A and B are shown apart, each in its own frame.
Chain A
Amino acid sequence: MIFTLKVNGLDRQVDVDEDTPLLWVLRDDLELTGTKFGCGVAMCGACTVHVNDQPMRSCALPVSAVQGDITTIEAVAGPEAKAVQAAWVAHDVPQCGYCQSGQIMTAVALLREQPKPSDRDIDLAMNGNICRCATYLRIRSAIHDAAKSLEKGA
């Protein structure tokens, strides 16, 4: 079936089965490989993208159910994204890096909702994103730093 999706600001057409998870449409058909596959069952967060600015697990979202504009790590933008990515680099958060696209997409969505999250807020928001390298401490401090830099910039 042909589906038209708005991805990173562009209209894209794909011809796939309707049960195809958005993850594989993004990766295989649109070659946006920054979004990763970790579990396929909405348990790890590696595949997190934004649909209408909300973080969604693209592995568990059939293409036929997508409603809204999709943003992936390749195009995530705005002050929160900038602050998060800068803090990620400043803290050298990534180890293997494979989970980090998903972590960043979730963190950006968190800061858009809660500009000054507490440790508890961060833990709640980020608990669905597994990092097997256990970079969690740096994720937490990088989010706090990003929040601080947003406050200053505001």
Chain B
Amino acid sequence: MNAPLSRRAILQGGGALVIGFLMPMGIGRLAAQAPAANGPPPVDPNAFIRIAPDSTVTVLVKHIEFGQGPFTGLATLVADEMDADWAQMRAEHAPGDQKVYANLFMGMQGTGGSTAMANSYLQMRKAGALARWMLVQAAAKSWGVKPEQITIKAGVISGPGGKQGKFGEFIETARTLTPPQDVPLKDAGKFEFIGKDRSVGRVDSLDKTTGKADFSIDQWTPGTLTVVVAHSPRFGGAVASFDASKALAVSGVVAVKQIPSGVAVFATGTWPAIKGRKALTIKWDDSKAEARGTAQMAQAYLAKAKEPGIQAKATGDIEKALATPGATLVEADYVFPYLAHAPMEPLGGYIEWDGKTALARFGSQFPSFDQPAIAGVLGIPPEQVKVEPVLAGGSFGRRATGDAHLAVELAECVKAIGPGKKVRLTWTREDDIHGGYYRPLMVHRMRGAVKDGKIIAWSDTIVGQSFAVGGPMEKMMIRNGVDATMVEGSSEPPYKLPAFRCAATIEQSPVTTLWWRSVGHTHTGYAVETFVDRLLEAAGKDPVAGRLELMTDQPRAAAVLKAVAELAKWGEPVPAGRGRGVAVVESFNSFVAEIAEVSIGEDGEPKVHKVWAAVDCGIAVNPDIVRAQVEGGIGYAVGHILYGEVPLEAGKPTVSNFNNYRSLRIMEMPEVEVTILPSSAPPTGIGEPGVPPCGPAIANALARLGRERPTILPMVKSA
């Protein structure tokens, strides 16, 4: 075999073989294509599928697996097109290589925006279909029969005269074949796995049940130093001076070095590194740091929200409509706190650097940003940096950073200790909660008017930080001075409103912010859905029927709303002491409506008993993963709407770990019932869309219990 080495060698991995080493669709061709411009590039099955002699089929997954299910999802697509047996399917992460593994929606290698299934649906089916084609041709050639005489079922290839074989038997022959550009995909009516509930189990369940699954924190090789970094307690602060003498006296501490993000303590293990860090004395320069508290910031933002802001969208004359004589004016000021993502696995990773090349293994969500960032720090060409994404213990947006700050810190650490070293960086939970990249603190000033049972005016003015400003995605996200992710959901509510205005103002702070599971919808969904509920109440309308009247040109949103009302038997009596609220939000091209049943517990806290959800996410490739994502999304929403907040006092976070950054626990988890609407539309997102409707549904339920719909979150303030 004259296999060109480099990339193939990477793909080849542990002794398994990649079919068709000499595929004509070279990597160079793929690279030359501008993905977004003329439709997706041709699919190179070699890059995505590896068939081993033992017939296992490994799918190389370009989206990072942190629970949302792309390993299983993409393996499902390939298995169905190949007519494989589910038991032979495996999945692993594709290496960092943007030319082959770009997210077709982003033009770069990255996971986010609930796009994994949406953008891989056709690509992976094509790869599977091409792989199947090659196996069929190879079997035909080996048996001396026509390809049309070959069938494949459950991983068994059959030919005339009772001939049978498994995939692994034909890889050597398949290598010699030149596949066509394209082969027809399976007819949807013939799917064995796609859309078939519980036809497949998650490929990663067993390893995650036996402790075998390896995460970022589990990556190291003999001789690796563990490093923890002391970061500025205030955002925007910097090291003025430090004294490491006591830290260096801790047994196991090997070195202490200043790096741009703080002071790094290198040790033989995690505990000595943590102890060493505690023993540091650091003077911080706070001259450029945030000095305000969040209460002060919220006040300033609310004052700003009285100004017009930059208009995102408008219809009619809003001020005139709000001043309509005889109309009921409704106003509400909303404050959404900073939120930490707090993925179960704190950030961290492994890197080795020999002076010329580097290898980094960690939960890299944006390899396309992480690889050049590491190269930049180490002063080597990006091609000399290998990024190998590994399983991550959750993300919720946290691992997708435009500034690649974790990759940069990783590289700075190994650079500080010198070439020929390996380091493993570990963030503690305190580093995570204090570490910023929060869901931004946001305010909404909502004003509406109701007359004769109709909503006649709606104004929403949003003020907060934009994490797009100054980042690599600024151009993509900010249009005409408005950050699209700040107003998404607010600028186009699903309701017909005769006079409407949505505007936003971007504020600045050294506090770092980031997308957080469902991005702008975390606040816009809440503001819009609680406010419409309030206006409908003022108009004397039922929350479901009233919404439907305003949704005449929103068939998919209306359909999920109707479906959830049916599922929960909306309108029928509710147990004493309980109230129900509803909300519907479109996000990431999926539609989710939820109804929450809530009471007030003995402690005065809202208790969420049950949430019903109706989902339209196009074709649900793995219905049970869709269900799991909605269950998890609801849990994530309940936890943060009730308890989530990172308050700052004089610029410093006042919470630091799960003792005071309260997380949802099993006792607070509501029952969840999900219905998935049948659809033949292409798959859309599901990792995030379960989150936005839940908070407002809870608030709207509280209104049925005679409480105000909370406008200052979280609902439960810690003492």
Contact = CB atoms under 8 A, between A and B. Distances in A.
Interface of A: 16-17, 19-21, 24, 27-29, 32-41, 43-44, 46, 72-74, 85, 88-90, 92-101, 104, 122-123, 126-140
A36 B664 contact: no
A2 to B, nearest CB: 13
Contacts of A132: 342-344, 394, 396, 636, 663
Interface centre among A74, A92, A93, A128 (most CB of B within 10 A): A92
Nearest to A72: B211
A136 B666 CA distance: 5
B628 A40 contact: no
A122 to B, nearest CB: 7
B313 to A, nearest CB: 34
B169 interface: no
A135 B209 CA distance: 13
8 contacts: A28-B271, A89-B209, A93-B209, A94-B209, A95-B628, A131-B635, A132-B636, A134-B635
A134 B636 contact: yes
B628 A17 contact: no
A140 B671 CA distance: 11
B236 interface: no
A108 B663 CA distance: 23
Contacts of A85: 209-210
Nearest to A123: B667
Given A92-B201, A134-B669, A33 B393 contact: no
Contact of A94 (B204, B269, B345, B634): B204
Contacts, number: 181
B659 A17 contact: no
Nearest to A41: B657
A124 to B, nearest CB: 8
Contact of B666 (A34, A39, A92, A123): A123
Interface stretch (B88-96, B214-222, B258-266): B214-222
A92 B428 contact: no
Contact of A129 (B226, B635, B666): B666
Given A28-B271, A95-B67, A130 B344 contact: yes
A101 B211 contact: yes
Contacts of A140: 666
Contacts of A24: 269-271
Contact of A17 (B207, B272, B394, B429): B272
Nearest to B214: A33
A17 B271 contact: yes
A37 B263 CA distance: 22
Nearest to A89: B205
Interface centre among A24, A41, A94 (most CB of B within 10 A): A94
Contacts of A35: 211
Contacts of B342: 132
Interface in B203-238: 204-215, 217-218, 226
Interface centre among B206, B343, B345 (most CB of A within 10 A): B345
A28 B269 contact: yes
Nearest to A105: B211
A132 to B, nearest CB: 4
A117 to B, nearest CB: 12
Ranked 6 nearest A-B pairs via Cβ: A34-B211, A134-B635, A98-B393, A97-B208, A95-B67, A96-B67
Contacts of B628: 92, 95, 135, 138
B66 interface: yes
Given A89-B209, A136-B666, 6 more contacts: A21-B271, A40-B429, A41-B657, A129-B666, A136-B635, A138-B628
Interface centre among B208, B633, B667 (most CB of A within 10 A): B208
B269 A138 contact: no
B693 interface: no
B382 interface: no
A95 B202 CA distance: 9
Given A28-B269, A73-B210, A96 B429 contact: no
A36 B217 contact: yes
B218 to A, nearest CB: 4
Contact of A96 (B274, B393, B428, B659): B393
B631 interface: yes
A92 B270 contact: no
Contact of A16 (B212, B217, B271, B635): B271
A36 B205 contact: no
Q: Is the interface of B mostly helix, strand, loop or mixed?
A: loop
Contacts of B664: 130, 134, 136
A59 B202 CA distance: 30
Given A27-B270, A73-B210, A127 B667 contact: yes
Contact of B665 (A94, A101, A122, A127): A127
A95 B210 contact: no
B672 interface: yes
Contacts of A33: 211, 214, 217-218
Contacts of B252: 17
Contacts of B179: none
A73 B212 CA distance: 9
Nearest to B272: A17
B68 interface: yes
A19 B271 CA distance: 9
A132 B396 CA distance: 10
Nearest to A88: B209
Contacts of B393: 36, 96-99
B73 to A, nearest CB: 13
A16 B273 CA distance: 13
B648 interface: no
Given A98-B344, A133-B344, A92 B669 contact: no
A21 B68 CA distance: 32
Contact of B209 (A19, A27, A104, A137): A104
Contacts of B639: 134
A104 B212 CA distance: 13
B204 A97 contact: yes
B567 to A, nearest CB: 16
Nearest to B429: A39
Contacts of A122: 666
Given A36-B217, A126-B666, A135 B632 contact: yes
Contacts of A100: 208-209
B346 interface: yes
B290 interface: no
Contacts of A101: 211
Interface centre among A33, A104, A126 (most CB of B within 10 A): A33
Contacts of B68: 95
Nearest to B392: A96
B222 to A, nearest CB: 10
Contacts of B624: 92
Interface string B338-358: 000011111000000000000
A38 B431 CA distance: 12
B248 to A, nearest CB: 15
B251 interface: yes
A35 B215 CA distance: 11
Contacts of B69: 95
A36 B345 contact: yes
Contact of A43 (B275, B343, B631, B659): B659
Contacts of B191: none
